Amino acid sequence: MDLDVVNMFVIAGGTLAIPILAFVASFLLWPSALIRIYYCMSSVKDVAALS
């Protein structure tokens, strides 16, 4: 194969890989983000109740 064709495939693959990896990462990380938000909210409520 010609080097230009290989270069084109590498650029296209990288362009596609970035949003796919971002989507997969957000799909894997959203439960921990929700848990973190829940704990932050509950700790804010605890501080408000104590004061």
pLDDT-derived band of residue 51, with 50, 70 and 90 as boundaries?
low
Provide the domain limits for residue 24: 1-51
Token pair belonging to 7: 């270069």
Q: How many domains does the chain have?
A: 1
Label residue 11 by pLDDT band (50, 70, 90).
very high
Give this prediction's pTM.
0.43
The type of residue at 44 is V
As a whole number of angstroms, the distance between CA 19 and CA 25 comes to 10
Q: Residue 43 has what pLDDT?
A: 73
